[in-house]
Amino acid sequence: MVPAKNINSYSSEQIDDRLGVLKVTALWAFSESAFGGILHALTVPLRGLFISSAAVLFISLIALFAKSNKEILKSTIIVILIKAVVSPYTPLTAYLAVSLQGVIGFLLFSTKKFYKISALILGLVVLFFSGIQKIIILTILFGNTFWNSIDIFIKQVTKELFNIVHPGINYGYILIAFYVLLHLAAGLFIGLYAGKLPQKINYYKNNIPSSIESKTGEEIPRKEKRKKKSWILRPTGIFVLVISFGVIILTYLSSELEKNVAMSVIIMLIRALAITFVWYALLAPIVKKYFQKFVAKRKSEYSKDLEEIMSMFPKFRIIVNNCWKLSGDKKGIKRIRSFLSTSFYYLLLSK
């Protein structure tokens, strides 16, 4: 546990006074509205995991620099507003995720006496919710039939190809457990890392290249902004369709599978399409209407902060581009790791 006086000493003496709540809020907003697109352009897998991890770091920093934990709620609202302006086609679940992260941070950092413990719990809780979010959505759309279909598909394929049979194992639930545990492991790492941020900042603040903010640098490839695809056209949707049609075909090729399995999968797909239609055609427009009213009302209240934060974005993009160039001597995972680490600290400590 870090005593309160140590945290305050970092804020007032060892950490550059450029590090304010507004700067960190700007970086959180940039991460939510633009950095995800950069990771998408770089084809980095599990982008949601990285964005959630970044949110843990930024919330921990806001808690470190703010006089009151209420600043976390204010920053959360500003991030939501900027996300709505910069990425208007962002699904409503993304706004819900940001809101939840902010509220959890507000509750955990009610005191700075247990800063490291709070940061660790924040990492675990935020990444846990990030992990189960997709599981919940898939279960709402397809029901347990989807997870049973994965189980049937893997069992039949392994039997046909490798003559391996494990009747007592449910592969669908194993997939769920692995996915959630992966996020929990990331939450543990990022929570411990967030607790060490004051020391890390002091190391990096004297090691920033003077040219990092210059306008030269290899541009990260950008993908055109487009309206969010329906779930059926996304990788997850394609995976669902492959499993579904795979199970349907297997029921007609394998004498061991009953024909009603195929009918259950067809009903599952019809159910998913019906829920999707009801959401996009009926419920989403109503929710979006009230959300837009909320955004319009809050814009004027935070107009000064929004304007200042938005003005930082062009410089952020330059720094990110230069960080990508600086990581050019590495390949694969090492380059991604170096790029993410240097981007975080150089953005945080830039003038």
**pLDDT in single tens digits along all 351 residues of the chain:** 344 444 444 444 444 444 588 889 999 998 888 777 777 666 667 788 889 999 999 999 999 888 888 999 999 999 999 988 887 777 788 889 999 999 999 999 988 888 899 999 999 999 999 999 889 988 888 888 888 888 888 888 787 666 666 777 888 889 899 999 999 999 999 999 998 888 888 777 766 666 666 665 556 555 545 555 555 666 777 878 888 888 877 777 666 666 677 888 888 888 888 888 887 778 878 888 888 888 887 887 888 888 888 888 888 888 888 888 888 888 878 888 888 888 888 888 876
- Determine the pLDDT at residue 12: 40
Note the pTM of the prediction, 2 decimals: 0.80
Total tally of structural domains belonging to the chain? 1
Looking at the domain assignment, is residue 273 inside a domain?
Answer: no
Looking at the domain assignment, is residue 232 inside a domain?
Answer: no
Is 320 within 8 Å of 343 (Cβ atoms)?
yes
d(CA 287, CA 62): 30
Q: Which domain holds residue 48?
A: 4-132+171-227+288-349
Q: What is the dihedral of CA 75, 80, 81, 82, to 10 degrees?
A: 90
* Angle between the N-to-C axes of helices 303-326 and 21-30, in degrees from 0 to 180, rounded to the nearest 10: 70
Looking at the domain assignment, is residue 323 inside a domain?
Answer: yes
Looking at the domain assignment, is residue 204 inside a domain?
Answer: yes
Helix, strand, coil distribution of the chain in percent, nearest 5: 80, 0, 20
SS3 167: coil
Q: E strands, the chain, where?
A: none
